[in-house]
Structure 1
Amino acid sequence: MTPLLSPTSRLQAATALFLALAMAATVGSALGFQHIGGYIPCKLCYEQRMPYYVGAPLMLLAFVSSTLRWPPLLTRGLLFVGGLLMTYGLYLGVFHSGVEWGWWPGPTDCGIAVEGPSGSGNGVLDMLNDVMPPSCDEAALRILGLSMAGWNAVASLILAAVAFRGAFSRR
């Protein structure tokens, strides 16, 4: 019997719940740095959040699937998809870190201000168009030598390993 068809156990339920909470906490931390800390994310920062936005609800569904004893393929398949999402998150984190360290170029439209329509007034909403978004090649914050993108790569690697272990474990 292939691992994806093996019956699920408490391991898959615990793994799915852990992943849902960890993904929510990771993206919640990024949102906290943005809304409480005042760090404005760049284009690549926003892209790095997508695997978490998709993954956390899927892991909750995997938890429900395992708890209610739905088909093992569904639970393990959802955990596998969570692992794939975190692998994509790892790629995004490594790519963004490489852009910050100058190892390769980033998107050409990162950090470019978009001009407002001509003849726009001087209201508060019109001023939003004059704010220069941060560039993808400058880390706004480094903690222990790693930028937020670097820490995202570390978190994504760990969460991907946990998800794949839960998907393929025979216990």
Structure 2
Amino acid sequence: MDAGPVIRRARLLALAAPALLLAGALLFQFAGGLYPCEMCVWQRWPHVAAIGLALAAFATRGALMRVLVFSAGVAILVSAGVALFHAGVEYGWWEGITGCATMGGGAGRSDADILADIMAAPIIRCDVAPWSLFGISLAGYNAILSGLSGAVVLLMVGKATRSVR
């Protein structure tokens, strides 16, 4: 059996899934006004890595392509893990680990200016879901969709690798 079509579909899924999930998060942020908390941002970085790995896989062939697609699948699963942890914090299953953070530096600025910036910044809590559908938050949907797509990518890479042997 030719592994080519299977690995090419896995490569496409490894690119499409994180790209669509990241696009959805950005759409909710910029069109929907749902600003991300710290853990929301953490979920985005593995998607960015998966997109980069999948794009690199489009420029390669053979074993290197399989390694890159596999790595992209792992990155997608990392996002699923972060999202599952975040969803658990939102649902009160466990405590979160984030604290208050400010954006921007204070060098050369007065204490009053820094305080004004802090007071004007929206407070985005990681333990409160700003949106949900059927009782599932955005972090919950990311956990589900990333977990499923990452697992499918890894299964497809495994199938393609077995058929090459």
Q: TM-score when scaled to structure 2? A: 0.84
Q: Which runs of 5+ in 2 are unaligned?
A: none
Unpaired runs of 5+ residues, structure 1, are 1-5
Q: Which residue of 1 aligns with 2:67?
A: 77
Paired AA for residue 143 in structure 2: A
**Is the contact made by 2:77 and 2:146 (CA closer than 8 Å) also made in structure 1?**
yes
> Match of 1:49, as an amino acid?
R
For residue 14 of structure 1, report the CA deviation from its aligned partner. 2.0
In structure 1, what is the equivalent of residue 118 of structure 2?
A: 129
Alignment partner of 1:37 is 2:32 = yes
Q: Aligned partners of 1:82 and 1:141: how far apart in 2?
A: 28
Task: Please identify runs of 4+ aligned residues in structure 1 that moved more than 3 A.
Answer: 113-117
What's 2:6 paired with? 11
Q: How does 1:80-95 map to 2 (within 5 A)?
A: 80-95=70-85
CA distance in 2, matches of 1:92, 1:74: 27
Residues 10-33 of structure 1 show CA distances to partners (whole Å, capped at 9, x for unaligned) of 221122122212211110000000
Alpha-carbon RMSD across the aligned residues, in angstroms, is: 2.3
Conserved in 2, the CA contact under 8 Å of 1:20 and 1:59?
Answer: yes
Aligned residues of 1:79 and 1:163 also touching (Cα < 8 A): yes
Give the aligned residue type for 2:57: A
Q: 2:148 aligns with which of 155, 158, 163?
A: 158
Superposed displacement of residue 133, structure 1 = 2.6
Shift of residue 132, structure 1, vs aligned partner: 3.5
Distance 1:128-1:34 versus aligned 2 partners, 3 A rule: farther
- Say if 1:113 and 1:86 are closer, same or farther in 2 by CA, change over 3 A: closer
Aligned residues between the structures: 155
C-alpha contact (below 8 Å) 1:86/1:157 kept by paired residues: yes
TM-score, normalization by structure 1: 0.81
Q: Specify whether residues 113 and 9 from structure 1 end up closer, same or farther in structure 2 by C-alpha distance, changes over 3 A only.
A: closer
State the shift of 1:167 in Å: 1.6
